[in-house]
Amino acid sequence: MLQRWQQWNRKAILWLWVIAIIGVIAALPIGMNRMNMEASSKSVEYVFDYRDLVEISEYQTRPQQFIDEQLEKMKGAGITTMSLYESSLKELSQAGRLKYYSSKDIALLQSKLEPVGQNFTYILFSGKEEEEKIGPIIRQAMDHAGATYRPWSFDGRNGLVVEMPLQSVLLQPMDFDPITLQTLHDKGFHILARFSDRVLPYDEAATDAQLARLKEVGVTRVLFDGATVKGFKDQVELHSLNSFAELLNKYGMGIATIENLKKPQSGINKLAYITNYNIVRLYSLSAEDAIGKSPEVLTDRFLLAAKDRNIRMFFLNAGVQTSLEKSAVVSGLDNLYITMKGKDGLVQRMTDEGFSPNLAQPFDVKHPSYIKPLKMVVAAGAVALIALLINVFIPGTLIPLYLIGLVGAAGLFQINSPLAEQALALGAGISAPTLALVWVMNRVYSRTEGSLRTVGGAAWNGRAGAPGEGKWVFEGLTVGRRLGLAVIWFIVTALISLMAVPFVFGLLNNITYSMVLQQFRGVSLLHLAPIGLTAIYVLLYTGNSPVRRIRKFANMPITVFMVVAFVVIAVVGMYYLSRTGNEGSASSLELTFRNWLEQTFGVRPRSKEFLLAHPLLLAGLFLALRYRAAWVFIIVGSIGQLSMVDTFAHIHTPLYISIIRVFLGLGLGAIIGLILIGVWQVVEGVWRKWSPGLIKKITE
């Protein structure tokens, strides 16, 4: 019975590989659907923060004239959109719509004593238009705040007295400045409206009227200011998120989500879902970078954001700094103009890459009927791949493992579909490269087992003073045969590792991943688990039985060398993990090198793949067929197999970019690996020719 079960298990290995391959094939149409989606939106929108322009104008001799001049320059530079916030008393004053005073200030203005027991706010409008258009939004805000107010005039100008301290009035949110909205619209700018979700209760009727006014000046997209989207705070009581989303749909408005926030804005996922993912990703350039970064750096950064991260909206800030060298206050405006204008400027280079300046459009998300059944096949293939990996460490359990895995995956899909998709994608992402590394280790072991001899004393193929003294050297294969096997194994190992890729994009095909509303968790585990599992397999499952090996390691005395080696490996591992995922950092030198790669190849291959991992894997396979110590190169080279899969775990990167990046890295890495092998052969030949005489002279 046991023998028959083992036969069934061996046959099951073949069938599960077939199922896994079928899963790979089933994922390909899903990948094509994603590529079509990613190609559906190519226009980019350049947005400037109008609040920054107003604040910069306060440092100028004639603020309004300065604003008008800069708006014309911005249009000439390619900026198409102005971002406008909901107003406050301070911002209305900065825009020249009014002036405000405290009771103390107004007493000084009138050359009177400050009223005793009174701390009111006094507002004077700049003119009749301001009184007619700004007055209603101030009164509306004061009504929301429950404040008492009355008409007031001074020196021929009309205003209001608000029976509330000035600091409290300054904190009250107000509607958008209608004069600025109309002015920007008349000058030909699109407007990006920035909403907040401040303390005031959500008012559906007021929000409806507000969006209607914004629609009149051409607003098509909104952005949120703060940690929450509009309507989030009152969702439980008023279902305000649903109401706001429906109003956005009513007026044909979408939303923008800001890249690289420490925490996503609360409510953004629900809002995106109800608006049918009428959403674009936005990159925000800080005021500091607008001043401090060169035009070349800014251009490369924006290009990479559009090509590699599906960014379609660029939000430009420009603050002010004092310059002692120039004895003046400087802003980032001039640097932005230089960056954007000209035949080598940002706008032209973006256009050359296929990203024309216009209103940012959401991706056209289609849900063909074939996606769901194909996804089920992909899930079954992922379970097969995971079962094959477990069977490597627990032989004879493949059939029950697969059946249990199918039932468990089906149940998890019913309970939490996104969790099931991520779990299977992560499992397949770990399994494929681990199986590839186990396979190639077995090939090396089978080729070298039984062909070992100890190089003792001073013997190296009959010559004295060999460099491999006291180490293991393998015999029996010519250089050409070793090179041929190394190249074939390198290719097969990469192909097995890449089997994980279709499972990643086949299971995680939701638009929420492309928009980073939802992220693929477990990247750190993906980078460590295959290396650890392969190490366990090599230590316990090659040679003697695992039980004997465990006993041997358990009885092995701990030395200082082991402790030092463990510490070194731990430090290297921590650094390795710090460079993975979206939060990894890079030095300025590395960033310069990355930009050069981008300009040279169009798509930047991962440097750790083609400069380190792939060359060392190929060279390690070649050398491991002769030198036992060369296995360490294979271990380091395994990082490249994991990195290839991780490239596709960055789902916000267009799929075709990831494909080019991986195969470009493999090609360049193979070339560098062949060069390393050639250099080694030359050095080894020189050493074998000259070392006996050199050692003889030293010993004499």
H-helix or E-strand spanning residue 322? strand 320-323
pLDDT for the residue numbered 23: 97
Report residue 464's pLDDT band, with 50, 70 and 90 as the boundaries: very low
Query: Is residue 504 a contact partner of residue 24, using CB atoms and an 8 Å limit?
Result: no
Mean pLDDT of 88-93: 93
Percent of the chain scored above 90 by pLDDT? 63
Mean pLDDT of 660-685: 94
Calpha distance 589→630 (Å, rounded): 30
The answer, yes or no, to whether residue 24 has pLDDT greater than 80, is yes
Supply the DSSP symbol for 629: G
How much helix, strand and coil, in percent to the nearest 5, is found in the chain? 60, 10, 25
**Residue 567 confidence (pLDDT):** 57
* Dihedral sign from CA coordinates of 104, 110, 116, 118: negative
pLDDT surpassing 80 at residue 288: yes
267-283 pLDDT tens trace: 999 999 999 999 999 99
Between CA 473 and CA 688 the distance in angstroms is 14
Report pLDDT for 450.
45
pLDDT surpasses 80 at 566: no
CB 151 within 8 A of CB 190: no
pLDDT at 68: 94
Range scoring the smallest mean pLDDT among 27-41, 403-417, 568-582 = 568-582
- Least confident piece of the model among 176-185, 188-197, 555-564: 555-564
Q: What is the pTM of this model?
A: 0.85
The per-residue pLDDT for 694 is 60
pLDDT band at 471 (very low <50, low <70, confident <90, very high): very low
At 112 the pLDDT is 82
Number of neighbours of residue 113 by Cβ within 10 angstroms: 9
- What is the chain's mean pLDDT, rounded? 86
* pLDDT at res. 328: 66
Residue 658 has pLDDT above 90, yes or no: yes
Res 502: pLDDT:
97
Residue 688: per-residue pLDDT: 78
pLDDT for position 655: 95
Q: What would the mean pLDDT of 149-166 be, rounded to a whole number?
A: 93
Mean per-residue pLDDT for 361-388? 95
Contact criterion met (CB below 8 Å) for 685 and 66: no
Torsion angle in degrees (nearest 10) through CA of 577, 579, 582, 586: 160
- Residues 6 or more apart whose CB falls under 8 angstroms from that of 525 comprise 426, 430
What is the pLDDT confidence band of residue 645, given thresholds at 50, 70 and 90?
A: very high
pLDDT of residue 582: 42
Q: Sorting pLDDT into bands at 50, 70 and 90, what band is 608?
A: confident
What are the tens digits of pLDDT across the range 99-118?
999 999 988 888 787 777 78
User: Any idea what DSSP says for residue 61?
Assistant: S
Mean pLDDT of 630-637: 84
**Structure confidence at residue 584 as a pLDDT band (50, 70, 90):** very low
The mean pLDDT value for 297-310 works out to: 91
Q: Which residues pair with 311 in a beta bridge?
A: 281
| 539 pLDDT more than 80 | no
Q: Is the pLDDT of residue 473 over 70?
A: no
Angle at 428 between CA 425 and CA 429, to 5 degrees: 80
Does residue 457 carry a pLDDT above 60? no
Answer yes or no: is pLDDT of 60 > 80.
yes
- Which pLDDT does position 578 carry in this prediction? 52
Across 500-505, average pLDDT: 97
Nearest 5°: the CA angle 603, 606, 607 is 120
Q: What is the dihedral of CA 200, 201, 206, 207, to 10 degrees?
A: 90
Beta strands 81-85 and 121-125 are unpaired
Asked if pLDDT for residue 7 goes beyond 90, the answer is no
Phi-psi region of 421 (alpha: psi -120 to 50; beta: other; left: phi over 0): alpha
Share of the chain above pLDDT 70, in %: 85
- Give strand pairing partners of 122: 101, 161
Would you place residue 640 in the very low, low, confident or very high pLDDT band (cuts 50, 70, 90)? Answer: very high
At 557, is the pLDDT very low, low, confident or very high (cuts 50, 70, 90)?
low
Per-residue pLDDT tens over the stretch 200-248: 788 999 999 999 999 999 999 999 998 999 999 999 999 999 999 999 9
**pLDDT 10s digits, 323-363:** 656 656 778 899 999 999 988 899 999 999 999 999 999 99
696, pLDDT greater than 60: no
